[in-house]
Structure 1
Amino acid sequence: MLLSELVATSRAVTATPSRTAKVEQLAATLRRAAAEQPGRVDTVVTYLSGSLPQRRTGVSWRSLVGLPAPAEQATLTVADVDAAAEQLALASGSGSAAARTRLVQQLFSRATADEQAWLRAVFVGEARQGAADGIMLQAIATAAAVPDGAVRRAVMLAGRTGPVAVAALTGGTVALDAIGLEVGRPLRPMLAAAAPDVATALATLGREVALEAKLDGIRLQAHLDDGAVGLFTRTLENVTNRLPEVVDLVRRLPVRRAVLDGEVIALGGDGRPLPFQVTGARTASSADPERMRAEVPLTVRFFDLLHVDGVDLVDRPLEERWARLAAAAPAGQLVARVTTDDLAKAQGFFAEVVAAGHEGVVVKDLHRPYAAGRRSPGWVKVKPRHTLDLVVLAVEWGSGRRRGWLSNIHLGARDADTGGLVMLGKTFKGMTDEMLRWQTARFRRLAVGDPDASRVVRLRPEQVVEVAFDGVQRSPRYPGGLALRFARVLRYRDDKPVDQVDTIQSLRQLLS
């Protein structure tokens, strides 16, 4: 299949605001891919979602400066691009930079002007064409003439969209139904909706609930299979080799096979959580894990069990999953928890958790199954303040005492309907001198073009930031028609991908 067909589809999807039109255009291309090269459907779906199967290739914006003149005829195929991306991802060691430069030049010399623009965006993670996850799943269902629900469930269990598209387009519902939970293969984690306070969360769920401490750590999915352990983050990154103490702990569980959901966190000697950056740096580092284990030991707290000794539990109610978890893991490895329908007791537990230095609570419906891969009304998180995870779209050079530092950041939310990013304000509050130094270096690397050429520096939308705010107000000043009141930076988050930042739709609900 020619790359030009995907580029044309991507441009068409970007150009239309209609969700129905997006789905139809994507579905038509998927059907063609399945008819011509069924073995390439996985790659086609990934490309149409604006990313690469290889995820990291070592190609940056600076390496895409001085590209060769574009080709006049479209000859590049999807297979050609995938092979080049694989070579780029594998390049390492002495001479790898020169090798990448040569591979980039070879690939781009064969691309037309439109293909070069698309390749540039997808290689550096800036391809925002409106094919959001929900739209792509609907397009797969439409192309294969199968129920949306069957596709969503299969993606939940498979973790990735591409293999599910292959199954749907080549085997229909029967093939989708055959996709199940596999120990050792990460599935998409269940996510929580948000509420401003405990009373609202209890009213939303409407009956006896579980309240669990929300730790300020890294989400971790642990797989145990006869002594073999796999550890995965919320983005499904394999971090097994970085966390030897967690591997040892999981191996000691009194079960043979299991899939557990939890949080890993660095605690101080007093049992209080260390700053999030400590946990984040530890889980991100692959250098000398045993030394890091001694210097920054990690603690794990489990809160769900999705499989145990041959029994899948994702469709079982939380009440049963928790009972089985309590039997499979020592009490000291479980998250703090109470069950109640009493508001005073719930608020008391919330206050205790916050006083202990944790983020807040997650209020959970005891009767709900595990709804992986999406925000479910069965889980509602409550923090002691309004917070959002947003993406930094641009940054401004500071003045006065902040002169020489990149300071005022432009904040963007995700549009759940289009998959695009919508600006909704700026802030420079909450930034320490240490944070300013860090973000100046970080945003120089993310700059689109020369960061010293203008006061406002546009960025590749890759850095997620958590901000606190006092409220939402209408504002014609920003594209989303909304602005945050008294927004201030809490922390930068490297553990969360841009496609999981908060949506402009959720902000509109706060306004109403």
Structure 2
Amino acid sequence: MLLADVVTTSAAVAATRSRLAKVKALAGLLGQAGPEAVEPAVAFLAGAPRQGRTGAGWRTLYDLDAPPAAEPGLTVERTDELLEKLTRTSGKGSVQKRVDLLTELFGAATREEQEFLRRLMTGELRQGALEGVMLDAIASAAQVPGEAVRRAFMLSGRLPVTAVAALTGGEAALAEFRLEVGRPVRPMLASPAESLRTALDELGDVVVEYKMDGARIQVHKNGDDVRVFTRTLREITASVPELVELVRELPCRTVVLDGETLALKDDGKPRSFQETMSRFGATNQRELLLRPYFFDCLHLNGIDLLDVPLRERNKALHEAVGEHVIPGGTQNAEQILTDSLDAGHEGVMVKALDSIYAAGRRGRAWQKVKPEHTLDLVVLAAEWGHGRRTGYLSNLHLGARDPDGGPPIMVGKTFKGMTDELLAWQTRELQAIESHREDYVVHVRPEFVVEIELDGAQVSPRYPGGVALRFARVLRYRPDKDPADADTIDAVRALLPGGNAGPG
């Protein structure tokens, strides 16, 4: 398959807001791809090479001396092969070898293909919100049920691998994916509730748990082998030795646990989210200790539990972790909410006891209740400050996720809630992912997620989504979340007067 076909399809997907049109374009391309081209083609279209980071920086790629080819001739397979060689090149003389490989690759590409490759290799094409559209396209191209594709993706965690299975082996190949201890699955997500009462009325028999201001973790134990992953499936085992040791001592042979971890003060109240996250890059056991709180059990002693009701998973959870279960219960929901807030936590989670574990999905079976409106939004740009903030990037441009796979949709700006320390960090980090400048505005690649507190939303023709934030202020950046985890434009619209729900 020619890389030019991928470039053309990528441009067509970016040019339309129609989900159906995106799915049709992607499915059409996948239907033409040979077995060797499927995996790299899906990876390219999703905005990230199979190899991950290639180590080629922005300056290297844009300074490369490689005149473009006159006609398309570079294949997807050859592109993937050269990227693989580039990733594996290291040691003495590797700098020149890498330049030679890049020159070969870009010299075989047309001008349009060169621009696509630059954006692909620098992360500018990465659009996690496109995953849902791509899953629908894979199902369409392979003529298999969408649910079968989504489940296989949930269990494999890898979009290109899921596509290969669907397109080469159909529904039977997709059904072969199983939960594998040691390989993370995508976490189940919660939806915001308007209030505790509405959540209780909607869900019926529930368990109500503390909603903690910590970091989501998934823990896998197989004998003495313990692995710990973040919500984005990044492994952090080496950074959290105290969690590894605790799980190693649990009274079970194999287990997969979903939970939260956070650092506590001497009085038992939570430390700041930033302090908890700082541990994920540390290796010194004498650093701030983390405490785990587990709230779900996906596998126990050889038995997979994804498809059994939460009430049964809770029994397995208590059997596996004992006192390390997150606080909560099935009675006195109002008191649990009060106790959670008094203990310094965010609110509560309300979960239907008859629900299965819908990994990677944001459904209504889990609902989060918090006293304040917050949104996780994508940073699109920042404006240079003035007065006391001269020399700092200050006013943030904020975008909500497009559920139909388009780029984030701008919904407002804010310069409130920022400390001097955050301003300095933000100025440094945002310039590192700059895409271009326009007068006093620095536009950035959509990579950072920031948690915003707000008073609501209002109708506004000023922004593309027709809605704007009211009195928005920065709470913190969320390094544990990707743009694909950001709240959607629908969550913002739900805050309009007469909307159905508030975000969490």
Q: TM-score range by the shorter chain?
A: over 0.9
Q: Are the counterparts in 1 of residues 379 and 449 from structure 2 also a CA contact under 8 Å?
A: yes
Output the amino acid matched with 1:157: L
Map 1:357-376 onto structure 2 (within 5 A): 357-376=344-363
Q: Are the counterparts in 2 of residues 130 and 420 from structure 1 also a CA contact under 8 Å?
A: no
Output the amino acid matched with 1:169: L
Partner secondary structure for residue 132 of structure 1: helix
1:479 partnered with 2:501 = no
Query: How far did residue 98 of structure 1 move?
Result: 5.8
Q: 1:303 & 1:418 partners in 2: Cα distance?
A: 31
Q: Out of 330, 337, 356, which is 1:350 matched to?
A: 337
Q: 2:37 & 2:328 partners in 1: Cα distance?
A: 46
Correspondence for 1:40 = 37
Query: How far did residue 97 of structure 1 move?
Result: 5.9
Partner secondary structure for residue 355 of structure 2: coil
Correspondence for 1:204 = 202
Q: 1:45 & 1:279 partners in 2: Cα distance?
A: 35
Correspondence for 2:25 = 25
Map 1:166-315 onto structure 2 (within 5 A): 166-205=164-203, 207-285=204-282, 289=283, 291=284, 293-315=285-307
Correspondence for 2:502 = none
Map 1:17-96 onto structure 2 (within 5 A): 17-33=17-33, 36=34, 38-67=35-64, 68-90=66-88
Partner secondary structure for residue 37 of structure 2: helix
Q: Are the counterparts in 2 of residues 229 and 247 from structure 1 also a CA contact under 8 Å?
A: yes
Query: How far did residue 257 of structure 1 move?
Result: 1.0
Partner secondary structure for residue 21 of structure 2: helix
Per-residue CA shift, 1:15-53, capped at 9, x if unaligned? 2333222212211211221xx2x1332222121112222
Per-residue CA shift, 1:116-168, capped at 9, x if unaligned? 12112222222167972221111111111111111111111222222221111
Distance 1:488-1:238 versus aligned 2 partners, 3 A rule: same
Q: For structure 1, which segment, 46-55 or 496-505, has the greater mean C-alpha deviation from structure 2 after superposition?
A: 46-55
Distance 1:248-1:130 versus aligned 2 partners, 3 A rule: closer
Correspondence for 2:442 = 457
Distance 1:356-1:44 versus aligned 2 partners, 3 A rule: same
Query: How far did residue 252 of structure 1 move?
Result: 0.8
Output the amino acid matched with 2:143: A
Distance 1:368-1:444 versus aligned 2 partners, 3 A rule: same
Partner secondary structure for residue 329 of structure 1: helix
Distance 1:491-1:479 versus aligned 2 partners, 3 A rule: same
Q: Are the counterparts in 2 of residues 130 and 419 from structure 1 also a CA contact under 8 Å?
A: no
Output the amino acid matched with 1:471: G
Distance 1:187-1:405 versus aligned 2 partners, 3 A rule: same
Give unmatched runs, 5+ long, in structure 2: 500-504
Query: Structure 1 vs Structure 2: percent identity of aligned residues?
Result: 53
1:442 partnered with 2:429 = yes
Q: Out of 301, 304, 326, which is 2:318 matched to?
A: 326
Q: TM-score, normalised by structure 2?
A: 0.94
Output the amino acid matched with 2:270: P
Q: Are the counterparts in 1 of residues 14 and 406 from structure 2 also a CA contact under 8 Å?
A: no
Query: How far did residue 383 of structure 1 move?
Result: 1.7
Q: Are the counterparts in 1 of residues 18 and 404 from structure 2 also a CA contact under 8 Å?
A: no
Query: How far did residue 99 of structure 1 move?
Result: 5.4
Distance 1:229-1:80 versus aligned 2 partners, 3 A rule: same
Distance 1:190-1:403 versus aligned 2 partners, 3 A rule: same
Map 1:427-438 onto structure 2 (within 5 A): 427-438=414-425
Q: 2:366 & 2:445 partners in 1: Cα distance?
A: 32
Q: For structure 1, which segment, 77-86 or 18-27, has the greater mean C-alpha deviation from structure 2 after superposition?
A: 77-86
How many residue pairs are counted as aligned between the two chains? 496
Q: 1:357 & 1:97 partners in 2: Cα distance?
A: 51
Distance 1:102-1:387 versus aligned 2 partners, 3 A rule: farther
Distance 1:133-1:492 versus aligned 2 partners, 3 A rule: same
Taking only aligned residues, the RMSD between alpha carbons, in angstroms, comes to 1.9
Q: 1:94 & 1:486 partners in 2: Cα distance?
A: 55
Correspondence for 1:503 = 488
Partner secondary structure for residue 333 of structure 2: helix
Q: For structure 1, which segment, 76-85 or 436-445, has the greater mean C-alpha deviation from structure 2 after superposition?
A: 76-85
Q: Are the counterparts in 2 of residues 196 and 385 from structure 1 also a CA contact under 8 Å?
A: no
Distance 1:18-1:254 versus aligned 2 partners, 3 A rule: same
Q: Are the counterparts in 1 of residues 382 and 394 from structure 2 also a CA contact under 8 Å?
A: yes
Q: Are the counterparts in 1 of residues 220 and 255 from structure 2 also a CA contact under 8 Å?
A: yes
Q: Are the counterparts in 1 of residues 219 and 229 from structure 2 also a CA contact under 8 Å?
A: yes
Output the amino acid matched with 2:268: G
Partner secondary structure for residue 495 of structure 1: coil
